Amino acid sequence: MEKKPCLWIIIPCYNESEVLPITAPMFSDKIEQLVQAEKIAPDSRILFVNDGSKDDTWEIICRLSAENPRFQGICQSRNRGHQNAVLAGLMEAKERCDITISIDCDGQDDINAMDQMVEEYLNGCEIVYGVRSSRETDTWFKRTTAQGFYKVLNGMGAEVVYNHADYRLVSSQVLQAFADFHEVNLFLRGMFPLVGFKSTSVYYERHERIAGESHYPLKKMLALAFDGITSLSVRPIRMVTGMGVIVSILGFIGIIWAIVVALMGKSIAGWASIVCIVCFLGGIQLLSLGIIGEYIGKTYMETKRRPRYIISERTEELICDKKA
Ligand code: UDP
Ligand code: MG
């Protein structure tokens, strides 16, 4: 009989003690269903990544793991954010399975889309992006800013699948290649398309959070968006150069005009215009410096090559596995 692929579901968790007891059985039911349908291997697993939670999320993960070996967990030594938690899970899983599916633990992403994701993998796709078919559960503000963000990103030359967040199937072959991407500022949804391989999208409805609250307030969302743009594209810095050229040309024309006016003996009482020009140039210069500074800051961070995640604990099966 043909060998079925071993699936690991990677689930980042930060302060999710309210949510986990409800969603964990949903994930294991889905795995059982896929195993029964003979789509995946019976030893498929669910890997929770505790991202330095301050509540008893890790205790719940350990309890789940003790009750059912299908549930496994790793615990980050501190909170490092959603992107790093997903990466930690993917890197932990990459040599132990054939496919991974990353998904949030709050039940917002439709678990049933996994059936089609696995089907697409069996048909030869190495990456399957989960794409939200609508954004009705979002507020008007989140919907509009998200759409604007995807437009800006694509305009900047970054290849990002529209309305895809971090619900995706990735094969271990892609993960092996992905391990060579060493950046510290992670924006996974923009990085996976860079790996290449055959990919496709699967559409699903996004629901409301089952319990608890979002950990992505406006400030964090903006930070992620900014990281996405500056990590994936150097176009902003080129725009600054372009702006510099235009301003220099205008400045040069202005100087010639001023000389001509002075030679003609017509003095200019141009206090207002001088102030305007100074402000304009000052503004442009400051903006440029800010953007350049952002890139220099990023380069500085990247040269440190700090570990992107540090695992402090493992559930029993994973410890034995590592030693073997
Ligand atoms: N998360 C994480 N670390 C963080 C913040 C969030 O691992 O610092 C996890 C969280 O537990 C959830 C997922 O990332 O599984 C998405 O977070 P959330 O649902 O709060 O974001 P939203 O869906 O509102 O964008
Ligand atoms: Mg959520």
Instruction: Kindly indicate the confidence band of residue 189, based on its pLDDT and cuts at 50, 70 and 90.
Output: very high
Q: Quick one: tokens of 293?
A: 């500074």
Which residue in 100, 117, 76, 75 sits closest to 204, CA to CA?
A: 117
pLDDT of residue 267: 61
- Please state, in angstroms and rounded to a whole number, the distance separating the CA atoms of residues 93 and 73: 11
Q: Quick one: tokens of 320?
A: 């034995």
Report the side by side order of strands in the sheet with 7-13: 199-204, 127-132, 164-171, 99-102, 7-13, 45-50, 71-76, 311-314
Instruction: Kindly indicate the confidence band of residue 271, based on its pLDDT and cuts at 50, 70 and 90.
Output: low
* Ligand 1 atom 2, closest CA: 82
Tens digit of each residue's pLDDT (9 = 90 or more) over 294-308: 888 788 778 777 678
Distance 209 CA to ligand 2 centre (A): 6
Which atom of ligand 1 approaches the CA of 51 most closely?
7
> What phi-psi label fits residue 15: left (phi over 0), alpha (psi between -120 and 50 degrees) or beta?
left
Tens digit of each residue's pLDDT (9 = 90 or more) over 209-235: 888 888 877 888 888 888 888 887 877
pLDDT of residue 194 exceeding 60, the answer is yes
The residue ranking higher by pLDDT, 104 or 1, is: 104
Q: What is the mean pLDDT of the chain?
A: 88
pLDDT of residue 85: 98
pLDDT of residue 2 exceeding 90, the answer is no
pLDDT of residue 74 exceeding 90, the answer is yes
Q: Which residues line ligand 1 (CB under 6 A)?
A: 12-14, 16, 51, 79, 81-82, 85, 104-106, 108, 214-216
Q: Are 213 and 16 spatial neighbours (Cβ–Cβ below 8 Å)? A: no
Which residue in 215, 211, 217 sits closest to 17, CA to CA?
A: 211
- Please state, in angstroms and rounded to a whole number, the distance separating the CA atoms of residues 31 and 8: 9
Distance 23 CA to ligand 2 centre (A): 12
pLDDT of residue 150: 87
pLDDT of residue 313: 76
Distance 114 CA to ligand 1 centre (A): 19
Distance 73 CA to ligand 1 centre (A): 16
Share of the chain above pLDDT 90, in %: 49
Query: What's the ipTM?
Result: 0.98
Instruction: Kindly indicate the confidence band of residue 10, based on its pLDDT and cuts at 50, 70 and 90.
Output: very high
Residue spans of alpha helices (H) in the chain: 20-36, 57-67, 82-93, 113-122, 140-155, 172-178, 188-195, 218-232, 235-263, 271-304, 316-323
The residue ranking higher by pLDDT, 64 or 152, is: 64
pLDDT of residue 112: 96
* CB under 5 Å of ion ligand 2: residues: 104, 106, 108
Tens digit of each residue's pLDDT (9 = 90 or more) over 93-131: 999 999 999 999 999 999 999 999 999 999 999 999 999
* Ligand 1 atom 12, closest CA: 104
- Please state, in angstroms and rounded to a whole number, the distance separating the CA atoms of residues 181 and 194: 10
Burial call 224-238: b when 16+ CB within 10 Å, e when fewer: bbebbbbbbbebeee
Q: DSSP assignment of 35-61, as one string?
A: HHTTSS-TT-EEEEEE-S-SSSHHHHH
Specify the pairing of strand 311-314 against strand 71-76: antiparallel
Over residues 9-27, mean pLDDT: 96
Residue 73 backbone dihedrals phi, psi, to 5 degrees = -155, 150
pLDDT of residue 106: 93
Residue 11 backbone dihedrals phi, psi, to 5 degrees = -130, 105
pLDDT of residue 269: 67
- Please state, in angstroms and rounded to a whole number, the distance separating the CA atoms of residues 167 and 103: 5
pLDDT of residue 324 exceeding 60, the answer is no
Which atom of ligand 1 approaches the CA of 16 most closely?
11
Pocket test for ligand 1, best of 46, 104, 109, 311 (most atoms within 8 A of CB): 104
Q: Which ligand is nearest to the CA of 13?
A: 1
Q: Quick one: tokens of 37?
A: 């349908």
pTM of the model: 0.85
Which residue in 43, 69, 57 sits closest to 319, CA to CA?
A: 69
pLDDT of residue 13 exceeding 90, the answer is yes
pLDDT of residue 323: 52
pLDDT of residue 152: 87
pLDDT of residue 272: 67
- Please state, in angstroms and rounded to a whole number, the distance separating the CA atoms of residues 274 and 296: 32
- Please state, in angstroms and rounded to a whole number, the distance separating the CA atoms of residues 96 and 321: 9
Share of the chain above pLDDT 70, in %: 95
